[in-house]
Chain A
Amino acid sequence: MLSQAVVNGLIAASTYLLVALGFSLIYTTSRFFHFAHGAVITLGAYLAYSINSQAGVPLLGAAVISVFFCGLLGVLMNHVVYNRLLRKGAGSLVLMLASFGIYLIFENVTTIIWGASTLGFSPGLPSSICKWHACITRIHILTLAIAAVSWVFLAILFARSRHGLLMRAVAESRELATAYGIKTHEIVDASFFIGSAFAGLAGILMAADVGMTPTMGLHALMMGVVVAIVGGIGSLRGLLLASLLVGLVRHLSIFVVGSQWQDSIVFALLLVVLLKSPWGFASDAAAQEV
């Protein structure tokens, strides 16, 4: 029982990590809370579903296409809405409000197109491997692996590649980066693309596990945002620790209170962290300019 809860916690942690990675990647370069990220998560799952079941593409191919489209969708949101607002001198508050608007539009369009009830990918329950009273399915293993690979990918991108260096420069100061001749818009677009692709991936993995609903994105995003804040937004190591903490707290809390209180426990944790140490686990100076 305990081992199963720990396994569930780890799996939840890896989806939260994927969402939080995308969310904070976008935050570090564009400096606002992109709530429409939640809509991208949902749409990733539904697009993969439609490409798979209606167009007849195998699930893996459908997932790849859907993830690519999610990346494009993120770039599109940036171009159609955020860039225009930025050009008019909008601050982070206005961008965040606009992202609420985009989220509202997308969630409800999804509901109208696909309906509000739960949908799932065609192959029913996947086979599972059981050991030490805990069972894990192939989807779960895939989720853990993808989350780990994504984290390593971002870590290498930021630490070793030229592109990561440019991203860090833009994160540090957008004006200064522009002044040095960095094509800031391209860097921000790239972060929107990668971040949104992660979101789509997270959505597909979650849908493959428990099915999809139009509201899945908001819930996953909120867990991701809690992870991002608890971990200290912009700190990769912090995000990893925080996703483990949030995932385990969420799934171990059922031994103390009922499962209907899981969300409350996570948000109570968030309020405590905000009260005690608003920068989360991150200790680097860049993350501290809250």
Chain B
Amino acid sequence: MEAYFYHLVVLGGVYIVLTQSLDLISGHTGLMSIAHSALFGIGAYGVAIFYGQMHYPFIVAWLIGMVLAGMAGLMVGLPSLRLRGDYFVIATFALQVLCFNFMNNVSNVTGGTLGITGIPTPWFMSTTARAALVCSSLALLFSFIKWVLTRSPFGRVLNCIREDEDLVMALGRNPVGFKIAAFMISAVMAAAAGGIYAAYVSFVDPTTFTVMDSIAILCAVIIGGSGSTAGPVFGALILIGLPEILRFVGLPYSVASNVRQIIYGMLLVLILMFRPGGVVGGFSFDIREHTRL
């Protein structure tokens, strides 16, 4: 029971880092990304390949994963962030597909569909209690980083971009540069979460990083509450909690994941209709459009 609790804490910590990273771009900057499970996957594969197979120190492999994710973010941000938000969504979908195909097809690097197994557990995660401690402190650290970022002048520009991009330009800032920087930071954070995840589960394969996972993460953040610190935490709790609840209810394994996604979808639609700020009452995208009209 204790081990199970620690296991949930580890996953919770990892997912909090991931949802906070997505909220930086979606909640604070107003750009919806459906590539976050791919960016998470880049971090995971970075650790799996450079730490698990090439035996670099963990921290080096972790950083390589983050740098790669940042570069992927730049590659997609550069063409799409000059355009309206809708186009960015499609571009992130492109990133998601490109990453998934890379993980799935380049078997001599990523192990193809079989993935990479037997990633050694780093010393700081040798027991589940230790891993739980590490992950919860990382969740705290990254939540704090995001909190500081969004209250800095940089974060205020991001919020302003979400409200009115023309205004940002009128005030002499370049919104494209800020958006690209925000997406790169978000990608790096997602990869950081992915690296820890790979080290903890000691196994990666492409099926963990599909577009449906990306959409589920986005759902969770919106349901939790956008543009706040507590909202993504709540979103991560949904991502962790719902599968566990469904398991206790005793749904057969074959339909459990489908039921989970149906619930995400329904919650998302209902939240958008009846409580657009999310459960914790974060930023509501509706109000912006309303005042603009």
> Measuring CB to CB, which residues of chain A are less than 8 angstroms from any residue of chain B?
32-33, 81, 84-85, 88-94, 96-98, 100-105, 107-109, 111-112, 218, 222, 225-226, 229, 258, 260-261, 263-264, 267-268, 270-272, 274-275, 278, 290
Contacts and interface: CB of A to CB of B under 8 A. Distances in A.
24 contacts: A33-B86, A92-B85, A93-B86, A94-B285, A94-B289, A96-B89, A97-B218, A100-B34, A100-B268, A101-B268, A101-B269, A101-B272, A105-B262, A105-B265, A108-B259, A111-B258, A218-B211, A222-B97, A226-B90, A229-B87, A261-B101, A263-B101, A267-B98, A271-B79
Given A93-B285, A104-B262, A260-B104, A33 B89 contact: yes
A235 to B, nearest CB: 16
A112 B255 contact: yes
Given A226-B90, A271-B75, 15 more contacts: A33-B86, A91-B292, A93-B289, A94-B276, A98-B269, A101-B269, A102-B265, A104-B262, A104-B268, A108-B258, A261-B101, A271-B91, A274-B80, A274-B83, A278-B87
Given A104-B219, A104-B268, A290-B84, A275 B94 contact: no
A270 B216 CA distance: 24
B145 interface: no
Contacts of A81: 269, 273
A120 B172 CA distance: 58
Max chain B C-beta neighbours (<10 A), residue from A90, A91, A100, A290: A100
Contacts of B266: 101, 105
A267 B265 contact: no
Interface string B194-214: 000000000000000001100
Nearest to A258: B105
Contact of B288 (A91, A111, A261): A91
B268 A274 contact: no
Contact of B285 (A90, A103, A111): A90
A85 to B, nearest CB: 6
